[in-house]
Amino acid sequence: MSLKNKIINVSAEKIVFPGRSLCRCSDGIVLFSEGLLPGEAADVLVIKEKKTFREALLKNITSKSAERIEPLCPSFGFCGGCSFQNISYESQIKYKQEYISELLNFAGVKISKILISPQIWHYRNKMEFSFFNNKGIADLGLHCKGMFNRYVSVPPCFIADKGFLQVVETVKRFANGNNFSVYNNKTHEGFFRHLVLRKAGNNNQFLINVITNVVDCESVFLEPLIKELSEFSCSIYWTSNGRKSDAVLADRLTLMCGKPFITERLNIGGKDYFFDISPFSFFQTNSKATEILYTEILRLLNPSKYTVLLDLYCGTGAIGISMAHNVKRVIGVECIGQAIDNAKENALANNVFNAEFYASDAEDWIKENKSCFDAVVVDPPRSGLTKDIIKFLLESKAKRIIYVSCNPSTLARDLQLITENSKCKIKEIIPVDMFPQTYHIETVVLLEF
């Protein structure tokens, strides 16, 4: 019997990745919803129906769990940023441990206890805010959950660095005080589009990137806005983006004030390292937890002075550089040219002279380069590894692979592809909580041949 568009009452059995509540209908078919804790019952509206599962929207909780707490943020449930503010941090870790264990139960090794974040509030060192028209007022905010044309106003935001919220208020006040328009995703008109903020968390440096529609904005607003932002120790960029996509892209990127980068300091394995971060380069968003993550990678790698390390998807070179003093040679590969420029500068800043970096898609690089390494670190995007990369790793002479992943689903898929019918075996799995108040989890896996 079809239940689509009907309201039914269900009970949640468990939370599964990506943070969804798994329930079961009276006919035994699995139903996925959001916002329910295990043991809770609720009325839900069925919106999708397939042969093996249904999806539903939460309408009304009829029986609440004792684990449920009041979220700090008034926008929780509407904002797409957080999913776990309604449970304690201890409960967050418990549920993350459960779904990581379930997804990776095929591995045949005990999964380590999650290494927790030293900071669970205001930990994010990067935020992307969107301008929107809020009843005639220029406002800044985050996307509503599942809606890219609706927003919730910021502040407050309890995962963003506290200093970001001061910058947001300054920019909003300036935009409204000077009657600037904000971008409309439907008409593609309006001036202000996004505000991207980054911070070197351990050095208290800000990088401010103001994204506008394509206009001659230098003469229009930048000088007075820079003056207003001068209280912050920062670099200020202007990005002109005339594309219709809502992604933060650059037709033109101009440094208007300060250095072209900010410099983060990380302590990894008892040694300080310094990394330059530019507007579009990848860097982990939780600085304190990153120190834990990279120290764990160093432990698993267990390198020697003879080790040649391939750092695939290397970003600004942070992993490879922090391993470099313990190995013979580091080879870093990254598709973003600006990140590779940062990686080369980062190597010099850290007195690393045994690292080389290449701006190339990983798939293109492996076609031109034979195996000349005996250890590999891969930290791919959320989509995971391609089959060509997996084939390359299996045919390489590497004795050890460290797989760093922010997506347990694609990690599980790739680990099965790597280990089936091969001599490569999973030795350790260590989850690291880089993203408190959300369902996301970072995982580090050691594989050996």
In a domain, 279, yes or no: no
Q: What is the pLDDT of residue 308?
A: 97
The amino acid sitting at 420 is E
Q: If DSSP states are collapsed to H, E and C, what string results for the chain? A: CCCCCCEEEEEEEEEECCCEEEEECCCCCEEEECCCCCCCEEEEEEEEECCCEEEEEEEEEEECCCCCCCCCCCCCCCECCCCCCCCCHHHHHHHHHHHHHHHCHHHCCCECCCECCCCCCCCECEEEEEEEEECCEEEEEEEECCEEEEEEECCCCCCECHHHHHHHHHHHHHHHHCCCCECCCCCCCCCEEEEEEEEECCCCEEEEEEEECCCCHHHHHHHHHHHHHHHCCEEEEEEECCCCCCCCCCCEEEEEECCCCEEEEEEECCEEEEEEECCCCCCCCEHHHHHHHHHHHHHHHCCCCCCEEEEECCCCCHHHHHHHCCCCEEEEEECCHHHHHHHHHHHHHCCCCCEEEEECCHHHHHHHCCCCCCEEEECCCCCCCCHHHHHHHHHCCCCEEEEEECCHHHHHHHHHHHHCCCCCEEEEEEEECCCCCCCCCEEEEEEEC
In a domain, 87, yes or no: no
Shared domain for 197 and 232, answered yes or no, is: yes
Please say which residue of 229, 263, 297 terminates a domain: 263
In a domain, 81, yes or no: no
**Residue predicted with more confidence, 146 or 448:** 448
Which residues on adjacent β-strands are paired with residue 311?
332, 377
Shared domain for 244 and 135, answered yes or no, is: yes
Task: Tell whether the model's pLDDT for residue 312 goes beyond 90.
Answer: yes
Query: What confidence tier does 250 reach under pLDDT thresholds 50, 70, 90?
Result: low
pLDDT, tens only, 252-278: 888 988 999 999 999 999 999 999 888
- Per-residue pLDDT, averaged over 290-305, amounts to 96
Q: What is the pLDDT of residue 220?
A: 56
pLDDT, tens only, 191-206: 999 999 999 977 789 9
- Per-residue pLDDT, averaged over 147-169, amounts to 94
Q: What is the pLDDT of residue 146?
A: 82
Rounded CA-CA distance 176/138 in Å is: 6
Shared domain for 161 and 295, answered yes or no, is: no
pLDDT, tens only, 2-44: 999 999 999 999 999 999 999 999 999 999 999 999 999 999 9
Task: Tell whether the model's pLDDT for residue 244 goes beyond 80.
Answer: no
Task: Tell whether the model's pLDDT for residue 230 goes beyond 90.
Answer: no
Shared domain for 132 and 106, answered yes or no, is: no
In a domain, 232, yes or no: yes
Binding site: what residues are annotated? 284, 313, 334, 379
Please say which residue of 232, 263, 294 terminates a domain: 263
Q: What is the pLDDT of residue 344?
A: 96
Shared domain for 43 and 112, answered yes or no, is: no
Shared domain for 38 and 13, answered yes or no, is: yes
What is the average pLDDT value for the chain, to the nearest integer?
Answer: 93
Query: What confidence tier does 246 reach under pLDDT thresholds 50, 70, 90?
Result: low
Shared domain for 288 and 230, answered yes or no, is: no
Are 335 and 360 in contact by the 8 Å Cβ rule? The answer is yes
- Per-residue pLDDT, averaged over 134-155, amounts to 93
pLDDT, tens only, 164-218: 999 999 999 999 998 899 999 889 899 999 999 999 977 789 999 999 987 665 5
pLDDT, tens only, 432-444: 999 999 999 999 9
pLDDT, tens only, 330-377: 999 999 888 899 899 999 999 999 999 999 999 999 998 877 899 999
CATH number at residue 22: 2.40.50.140
The amino acid sitting at 325 is H
Q: What percent of the chain has pLDDT over 70?
A: 97
Q: What is the pLDDT of residue 6?
A: 96
pLDDT, tens only, 56-103: 999 999 999 999 999 999 999 999 999 999 999 999 999 999 999 999
In a domain, 91, yes or no: no
In a domain, 366, yes or no: yes
pLDDT, tens only, 396-415: 989 999 999 999 999 999 99
Binding site for S-adenosyl-L-methionine: what residues are annotated? 284, 313, 334, 379
Rounded CA-CA distance 413/117 in Å is: 26
In a domain, 353, yes or no: yes
Q: How far is CA 419 from CA 16, 362, 378, 410, 415, in A?
A: 24, 21, 16, 14, 6
CATH number at residue 398: 3.40.50.150
Angle of helix 387-395 relative to helix 408-419, nearest 10 degrees, comes to 40
CATH number at residue 153: 2.40.50.1070
In a domain, 78, yes or no: no
Q: What is the pLDDT of residue 302?
A: 94
Task: Tell whether the model's pLDDT for residue 219 goes beyond 60.
Answer: no
Residue 315, domain extent: 98-118+284-448
Shared domain for 382 and 292, answered yes or no, is: yes
**Residues known to be catalytic:** 406
Q: What is the pLDDT of residue 76?
A: 96
Shared domain for 295 and 401, answered yes or no, is: yes
The amino acid sitting at 66 is A
Shared domain for 147 and 189, answered yes or no, is: yes
Q: What is the pLDDT of residue 411?
A: 98
Shared domain for 107 and 167, answered yes or no, is: no
Counting the structural domains of the chain, the total is: 3
Q: What is the pLDDT of residue 151?
A: 96
Q: What is the pLDDT of residue 271?
A: 95
Shared domain for 168 and 151, answered yes or no, is: yes
